[in-house]
Structure 1
Amino acid sequence: MSLGLKQAGFEIVRAYDAWPVAVANYNLNLGGDRAQVTDLGDILGIVPELLALAPDMIAGGPPCTDYSSAGRREEAENAKLTLAFAILVTTVRPTWFMMENVINAMKSETWAAARQVLMAAGYGLTESKVDASRYGVPQSRRRLIVVGRIGERDGFLASAIAAAAAPQPMTLRDLFGSSTPHAANISTTSEARRSIWSSHELGQTIWERPIGPHPDDVALIANGFVYSRPVRAGRGVRSIDEPFPTVTRTSHERPGPKYLSAPHLDDPIAASETAVLSTDQVSRIQGFPMWWEWKASSQRDVFQMIANAVPAPVAESIGRVVLDREGGKSAPDIQGGFLQWLVCRGRSRQSARNVKSLAGRARRLLGGKTFAVSALELATLEVVPEFQSMKRNPQSDLRQALRLLAEYQAEGDQRRKRPQVVAQPIEEEPRKAA
């Protein structure tokens, strides 16, 4: 997540993880000692440091094991760290926060409690289900991304996150069949220093040469199929012309006797005939760059770190969406239902389109920011220099458009809060004879 946000344009001031091995690999690859071994469940211990850092955004991925479809789905100690994340955010009060977790977390009691904490603190929330294959990695990894901003309406960033998705999923061929970017090979005398650097990282004038396709990649493309150990009963063999399944700690493992004796009916070829994925290839499927180095005492730890990660391209895509909104370069779409709502209240279709267009213009004048309180939205519009330079009638039209949009949204909010009543047939008592 840090790598992706850095590539999007963020400055990473500090990083935390409870696992020393993960912290060591972070610092090895991203430089310095920015990452620290910290138990984020110790809220009293970490809050003073976070307050001193005064971040503009807190980003994190609380443990997913208590929610994951691969686990028992019992909300225990790890689930509590989702609530701890919410408490840290609301105590430090950055303008923005970003959280990643598995889709099942949305249905959890812990996220319901965390959500209430964040909303009570004044954060508007956008809860998006994203498919990583649409955001830069060849992996059908579906995850919950929650982005919050103080003072916003819920769903304020949903249309922008959806618009950032690629029209087609990324495939394994897209990654391993493409030309390799230029990189530099710098001989080193220490095993602690990496020798392969991407060209955009180079901070000195050195000889640069392209590195050709790796033999493992050539073999993968030639074979055309890969095996991924199914988490549950599912297809194990995938074509390189589709995304890889969700990367897990066991994604690299070869098919065992149980699967070979009872393969999935939809497997296009025998699992034993598929290409063997290397550690480097699994790492790149998860979005790590070619120059990333893994240091651990066991391969199990390496694959656990890979599987735990938020793919950097996904974090970069969402990070760019956040920065564009922060800079006023984007604005939320006006819901299509607003047009029909106006028509149902007596406006002609042309008049309704004009109001919708004016509401969009008002939001752009506000830098794309939405407001949970309509009066604050109008008051903020009044002090925008471009609005102040307008004549009276255009100003009045923009105010009216925002009022109508706020009324439409309030009605929608009310409908969502309304309790659902299920009507039951009433059984009449049997008539009694005198």
Structure 2
Amino acid sequence: MRVVELFSGAGGMSLGLKQSGFEIVQAYDAWPVAVANYNRNVGHHAKVADLGETLGIVPELLKLAPDIICGGPPCQDYSSAGRREEADNARLTLAFAVLVATVRPAWFLMENVVNAMKSETWAQARSILKASGYGLTECKIDASRYGVPQARRRLIVVGRIGERDGFLASSIAAAAAPQPMTLRDLFGATTPAAMYFPATSEARRSIWSPDEPAPTIRERSIRPLPVSYQPHPDDAALIANGYIYSRPVRAGRGVRSIDEPFPTMTRTAWERPTPRYLGSPHPADPVAASETAVLTIPQISRIQGFPIWWKWETSAKRDMLQMIANAVPPPVAAAIGCAILDREAGRSIPEVQGGFLQWLVRRGRSRPSARNVKSLAGRARRLLRGRTFDILALEIAALEGVAEFQAMRKTTQSDLRQALRLLAEYQASRGQKHRKQRQASAQPSANLAEAA
């Protein structure tokens, strides 16, 4: 699938999608420093562009004809670390929706902070995308379950033309790890992220990351990691200390153990505790903030999911940290990308919710009969290779066009059609309930509370 990324930053999302199997054809961002780092590390796909000027970029996007448009519009106006007032940055979420609706790729992927979900701007953007025919999956995820040791909660929105809302939710949930990733998992000496290729001279290195190209393979050049292998001294010091400090947001805890995820990465993650914090620490801090380890920029980059070979180049440390904090963690993008590719290829199907069975029972069916209908609905979805349709008539017509369906007995065909009709009725009732809940919880974005 061909990808165009908007608001690409330094390329975290592009890297993750590329690793999962997408073809990156173009990326755009307004910050020249981020674009330069993108092109140095991901590939020469990125260019500087003001995406707020939507008319200027539309002809180029139409010519590129991507299968999917992705991006993470600026989140500062929604972020719990910011003022949470919807202004110019928030309107770029609207620009993202307008560009997607105009170009109409088969898919889109958007990342933002969870507070955006309750914003007036997202409500407007959502209406535009729905009017353009997209089914939407809106998920709140924790990045520590998707490959990075960081309790980074984010809104992921995936859209596909013609689908029912929620069509990819079960696949995204299934991609989550059962346990959060911790800092020890990343930096621990017992599981070094390294491979050993003996160097041909003392001037060359022998330890390589699994996330970078290996050196030229020569006869007997692959060896087990030597017993004498030692992790980087900074990583070893972090493990030995056992605690790190992260500047708290909105009176949160400042000290974390390495046996838990880091909090959401911000530009200030490297800063040491202020005298004010040292004099009035959070009561839940396990040790004094002054006794914690100091994170290096390479460690901060790896906590955000960037591979060890990634090279940050800028004249200002502040800019480097801003690029890291703004990025979509590549492992998160890779996990979502795999879910999209699996559905595109028909390798996954939407899970039939457990509530469907209870709904059937409340309507008078026996439990065995309800289980049979649920099983038939799953079978129909497998025949459709995971596709759902926002219009029931199209879904049934697509089912009837499947050769395997046409070879079935008439009674089985009828049962499969009926199962899809009942499932559509159930989903419509759930959708109406969710719409009422969204309307009831709507409030001015300036007064948004942190999403639960």
Q: Same fold (TM over 0.5)?
A: yes
Distance (Å, rounded) in 2 between the aligned partners of 1:71 and 1:119: 29
Find the counterpart in structure 2 of residue 121 from structure 1: 132
CA-CA distance at 1:386 after TM superposition:
1.3
Q: 2:408 aligns with which of 390, 414, 432?
A: 390
Cα shift readout 1:199-226 (whole Å, capped 9, x = no counterpart): 6524854667867410000000000000
Amino acid at match of 1:235: R
Verify: 1:268 aligned to 2:286, yes or no.
yes
SS at match of 1:287: coil
Q: Which runs of 5+ in 2 are unaligned?
A: 1-12, 201-206, 441-452
Please tell me whether the aligned partners of residues 146 and 331 of structure 2 are also in contact (alpha carbons under 8 angstroms). yes
- Relative contact order, CA 8 A, sep 6+: which one is greater? 2
- For the residues of structure 2 that align with 1:114 and 1:183, how far apart are their CA atoms? 49
Report the equivalent of 1:290: 308
Cα 1:208–1:20 change in 2 (3 A) is farther
**Which residue of structure 1 lines up, in the alignment, with residue 118 of structure 2?**
107
Q: Equivalents in 2 of 1:405, 1:357: separation in Å?
A: 11
Residue number in structure 2 paired with 1:179: 192
1:106-161 deviations in Å (ceiling 9; x for gaps): 11111000000000000000110000000000000000000000001111111111
| Long gaps (5+) in structure 1 | 188-194, 422-434
Q: 2:247 aligns with which of 216, 224, 229?
A: 229
**Residue in 1 that maps onto 2:32:** 20
Q: Which has the larger radius of gyration?
A: 1
Aligned equivalent of 1:407, options 398, 406, 425: 425
Work out whether residues 43 and 88 of structure 1, in 8 Å CA contact, stay in contact via their aligned partners in 2.
Answer: yes
Matches within 5 A, 1:90-101: 90-101=101-112
SS of match in other structure, 2:151: coil
Deviations 1:389-410 (A, max 9, x none): 2122211111111111112222
Q: Give deviations 1:165-212, integer Å, cap 9, x for gaps.
A: 11110000000002122277999xxxxxxx977565248546678674
User: What residue in structure 1 maps to residue 234 of structure 2?
Assistant: 216
Q: Over the residues paired in the alignment, what is the CA RMSD in angstroms?
A: 2.0
Deviation at 1:255, TM superposition (A): 0.8
2:324 is matched with 306
Q: Aligned with 1:226: secondary structure?
A: strand
Per the TM alignment, residue 345 of structure 1 is displaced from its structure 2 partner at its CA by 2.3
Secondary structure of the residue that 2:66 maps to in structure 1?
Answer: coil
Residue 92 of structure 2 corresponds to 81
* Cα offset, 1:346, TM superposition: 2.3
Which residue number in structure 2 is paired with residue 425 of structure 1?
none
Change (3 A) 1:263 1:174: same
Q: 1:132 aligns with which of 143, 161, 169?
A: 143
- Aligned equivalents of 1:406, 1:373: Cα separation in 2: 9
Deviations 1:85-109 (A, max 9, x none): 0000011100000000001101111
Identity of aligned residues (%): 71
Following the alignment from structure 2 to structure 1, what is the Cα–Cα distance between the partners of residues 215 and 382? 39
Of 47, 63, 87 in structure 2, the residue corresponding to residue 52 of structure 1 is 63
Distance 1:101 1:383, change over 3 A: same
Q: Could you say if the C-alpha distance between residues 185 and 148 of structure 1 is closer, same or farther in structure 2, counting changes exceeding 3 Å?
A: farther
Cα distance 1:415–1:103, how it changes in 2: closer, same or farther (>3 A)? closer
Q: Distance in 2 between matches of 1:120 and 1:221?
A: 52
1:163-202 to structure 2, matched below 5 A, reads 163-177=174-188, 178-182=191-195, 198=210, 201-202=213-214
Deviation at 1:379, TM superposition (A): 0.2
TM-score, L = length of structure 2: 0.88
Shift of 1:412: 2.7
Residues 252, 277 of structure 1: 8 Å contact kept: yes
1:4 corresponding residue in structure 2: 16
Q: Distance in 1 between matches of 2:436 and 2:179?
A: 38
SS in 1 for 2:155: strand
- Residue equivalent to 2:391: 373
Return the offset for 1:332. Answer: 1.0
Does the aligned pair in 2 maintain the 1:95–1:150 contact within 8 Å?
A: yes
